[in-house]
Structures are given as C-alpha cells and as structure tokens.
C-alpha cells in the first residue's frame, strides 16, 4: 500500500482530484507530521503491550487512507485522510523493524532485513504496476478520473483483507516487563546517544530525498509530459531490480563491513542522482533513476540492521518511532518545497540541492560510525557493541 501511495499520490491529487501542486505537497507534509506526533507514543505502546497490535493498526489506517483519498477531493477531508495515513505509517514504523529484529537475533538480523526489504520492494513494485490497471478499468466504460478512484478503492479493500494474516503473527510477551523495568520515564535512554548520532545523518538524507523521491511521477510529467500510466510502471520496475539487489546487501556487508558498504552504495547512488535532471529523454532519465534507486536502497537493510543492532532490545519500538519521526518530518516538509519548485519549472533544482545534502550526510555518517561494529561483527579482540551501548547511555535531560 505504501508503495502504491508514494508512487502515485503526487500525480493523483493534482491531476485527478484537482489539488494544486502546493496543496499536494502540504498533504504529504501532513502525513509526516501525523507520523511524528503519533510514532513516539505508539512506540511506547508497542514495546509495552505488543508490536503485532501496532501492525494491525498500521494496516487498517493505511488501507482506510487509500479509500479516503479516493472518495473525497475536499481539501479539509484530504488533509484529515493524510493524518490517518501518517498514523498507519507510524504504527508500521514502530513495530515492523523491532519485531523482525527480535525474531531474527544478532546472527541473522542483516539477512532478515534483506529478506523483508526484498518483499517490501516487490510489494512497492506491484503498487507501481497496479497504476496501469486504470487502462483496463477505462475499457469498462470509466473515464480516467473514475478509473483512478476505482483503483484506489480496490487497493484499499485488498489491504483490509490481509488483516487476518497479520493476526497470525506470534511474538514473545517479554518486552512489556523489560521496558517497564528498564526505562525510566518515556525516553529510550539507553540508546539515546546512538539515536542522536544516527539521526544527524538520517535527517540530511531525509531532507534531500523528500525534494524528489515521492514526487517522481509528478516530476516525469512536468519534465517529459509522461503520465502516471507510463511512469508508475517504470518506478515499479526499479523496485523489482532493487528487490533483487537487496539480497546482495549481506554479502556486501560481509566483504567490506557494514559501515563501508553503506557509504559505498550511497556514494555511488548520489553520482547517478545528479545525472537525472540533465537526461535528454524520459528513457534515459528513467534508466539513470532506476540505477540510482538500486544503489541507494542496497544500503537500506544494512542501515536498518545497524540501528536495530545498536539500540537496546527493550527499546527497539521507541527507537524505531524516534528514527521514523526524524526521517519522515524533514522528508515531507522538503517534499512541499520540491513540489513548489517543480510547479515553478525549476526541475533540476531538487536534484542538485539533494546532491549537496547527500554528500554531506554520507561524510557525516562515515565520521560518526567508522569505528562501529555490530555484535555479529565483533569477534576476538573487537569490543562487543552491547557493552558500548551501556557505556554511551546518557542521563535524562
């Protein structure tokens, strides 16, 4: 569902529902603000009362948001639906990674995150390809707008239908007791310093990505006159390539080390990102962008494994909430800026500003984490990371 939303929403709201580019960007911003406001309390609830419940909440809210976007073009209601979508994202963010890390353990965590990233990218690709379903829907007598609305309703209802599968997920109840005893108050205190370091890098990446990533269907339309019926499947294809690529992540980390692998893949991705706006045709731009997506997201399971390996296990839900908040808010706020620039015809500017931000973030990440080793990497004389977490814990502020 999230793949579908972020592939097509930037096209659907202005071209089908009639919102301006500005209000489309604001809608994405409201989604982020809602995530930020709700992710931290939901993270606490996930740690104390169960992460599966948060997955159910996330799936329900995301599905209902798709139905809501389909049924209304009223600005106030669209913004309300965006807030519901943000709650869904927050619930997924605070529960998914934490639950996966719990079940996988240290030795299999990076492989597990690679597998879930593979499935996530496949799902995102299906979301992109699903947009082309408006063509057969039009053959049934629906116009373009009606076909888009029908598709959003179908995807939303399909999302609701998988709730019984989520309810079959099992989890251990140990986190409730651990969190109540191990956390003084409501902050992830054991993991605070780690989160501050990671967020310093993450925020810069989030701002840069927000300038263009959720806006690509809209950007392709303004740059080359290509509608979402063409661009969405292309974006879906890039997701499939990335899904296959994430299985290379564990081998890349094994060969170069986790930190070096993240820096290498993100650095190469940044080079291709800078080439996208100077591409003379849609085909070239789409190909270059696909390579950029492939390389950038090769590091995604590695960075998720890194943060879940660094934080204290009983604070993973709260840490996921904090991490998600500090990603999505700047990401969505910069999306508003990017949408305005695209609307003004400044099509290259989002990519060039993002390039500067990415380079700064990657350099910062290297200096902050170059000496870090995860428990599964720490053997022999290497210092166990669990000990380093305890040594780096900070007092309450």
In a domain, 28, yes or no: yes
Look-up: residue for tokens 């960007």? 25
| pLDDT at 298 (0 to 100) | 81
The pLDDT, as a whole number, for residue 182 is 41
Asked if the model's pLDDT at residue 186 lies above 90, the reply is: no
The number of residues making up the chain comes to: 397
Query: Does residue 116 form part of some domain?
Result: yes
More confident residue, 278 or 379: 278
Residue 181 falls inside a structural domain? no
Evaluate whether residue 171 is within a structural domain.
no
Q: What is the mean pLDDT of the chain?
A: 79
Is 166 contained in some domain? no
Question: pLDDT band for position 179 (50/70/90)?
Answer: very low
pTM of the model: 0.66
With CA atoms as reference, report the closest residue to 91 among 194, 170, 166, 174: 166
Residue 381 resides in a domain: no
Residue 222, token pair as written in the block: 């303004």
Domain of residue 105, CATH code? 1.20.1250.20
Question: Which of 61-65, 75-79, 176-180 has the weakest average pLDDT?
Answer: 176-180
Confirm whether 38 is domain-assigned: yes
Instruction: Write the pLDDT tens digit of every residue in 276-313.
Output: 999 999 999 999 999 998 888 888 778 877 877 777 77
Q: For residue 199, what are the contacts with CB-CB under 8 A and spacing of at least 6?
A: 322, 323, 326
Q: Is 116 exposed, middle or buried (0-12, 13-18, 19+ CB in 10 A)?
A: middle
Closest alpha carbon to 10 in 283, 22, 354, 277: 22
First CA to last CA distance, the chain? 38
**Calpha distance 370→264 (Å, rounded):** 13
**The pLDDT of residue 370:** 81
In a domain, 146, yes or no: yes
Task: With cut-offs at 50, 70 and 90, classify the pLDDT of residue 356.
Answer: very high
- Are residues 91 and 55 in contact, defined by beta-carbon separation less than 8 angstroms? yes
Q: How many domains are there within the chain? A: 1
Q: By C-alpha distance, which of 101, 123, 120, 98 is closest to 112? A: 101
Alpha helices (runs of H) in the chain, residue ranges in sequence order: 2-15, 21-49, 51-71, 75-130, 134-138, 144-161, 163-167, 174-182, 192-210, 216-224, 228-245, 249-256, 258-275, 282-298, 300-310, 316-343, 349-369, 385-391
Distances from the Cα of 207 to the Cα of 204, 224, 248, 283, 397, angstroms: 5, 25, 27, 27, 27
For residue 209, what are the domain limits? 2-161+186-373
By percentage, how much of the chain surpasses pLDDT 90?
A: 26
CA 181 to centroid of chain Cα atoms: 31
Hey, what's the torsion of the CAs at 349, 217, 157, 162, to 10 degrees? Answer: -70
Closest CA to 211 of 332, 82, 324, 325: 332
């Amino acid at each position: 569902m999230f793949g579908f939303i972020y592939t097509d929403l930037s096209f659907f709201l202005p071209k089908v529902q009639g919102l301006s580019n500005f209000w489309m960007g604001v809608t994405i911003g409201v989604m982020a603000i809602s995530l930020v406001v709700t992710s931290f309390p939901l993270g606490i609830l996930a740690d104390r009362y169960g992460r599966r419940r948060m997955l159910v909440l996330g799936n329900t809210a995301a599905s209902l948001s798709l139905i809501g976007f389909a049924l209304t073009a009223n600005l106030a209601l669209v913004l309300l639906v965006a807030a519901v979508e943000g709650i869904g994202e927050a619930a997924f963010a605070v529960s998914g990674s934490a639950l996966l890390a719990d079940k996988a353990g240290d030795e299999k965590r990076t492989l597990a995150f690679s597998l879930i990233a593979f499935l996530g990218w496949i799902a995102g690709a299906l979301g992109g390809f699903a947009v082309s379903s408006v063509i057969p829907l039009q053959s049934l007598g629906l116009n373009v707008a009606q076909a888009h609305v029908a598709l959003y309703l179908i995807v939303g209802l399909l999302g609701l239908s998988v709730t019984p599968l989520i309810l079959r997920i099992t989890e251990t109840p140990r986190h409730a007791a651990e969190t109540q005893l191990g956390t003084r108050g409501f902050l992830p205190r054991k993991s605070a310093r780690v989160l501050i370091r990671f967020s310093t890098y993450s925020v810069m990446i989030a701002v840069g990505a927000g300038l263009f990533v959720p806006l690509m269907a809209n950007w392709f339309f303004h740059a080359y006159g290509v509608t979402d019926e063409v661009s969405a499947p292309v974006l879906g294809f890039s997701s499939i390539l990335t899904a296959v690529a994430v299985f290379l992540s564990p081998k890349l980390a094994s060969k170069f080390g986790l930190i070096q692998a993240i820096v290498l893949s993100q650095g190469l991705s940044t080079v291709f990102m800078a080439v996208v706006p100077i591409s003379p045709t849609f085909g070239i731009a789409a190909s270059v962008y696909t390579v950029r997506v492939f390389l950038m997201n090769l590091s995604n399971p590695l960075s998720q494994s890194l943060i879940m390996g660094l934080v204290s296990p009983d604070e993973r839900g709260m840490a996921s909430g904090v991490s998600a908040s500090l990603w999505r808010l700047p990401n969505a706020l910069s999306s508003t800026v990017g949408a305005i620039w695209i609307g003004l015809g400044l099509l290259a500017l989002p990519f060039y500003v993002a390039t500067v931000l990415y380079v700064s973030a990657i350099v910062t990440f290297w200096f902050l984490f170059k000496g870090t080793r995860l428990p599964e990497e720490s053997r022999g004389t290497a210092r166990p990371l669990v000990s380093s977490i305890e040594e780096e814990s900070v007092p309450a502020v």
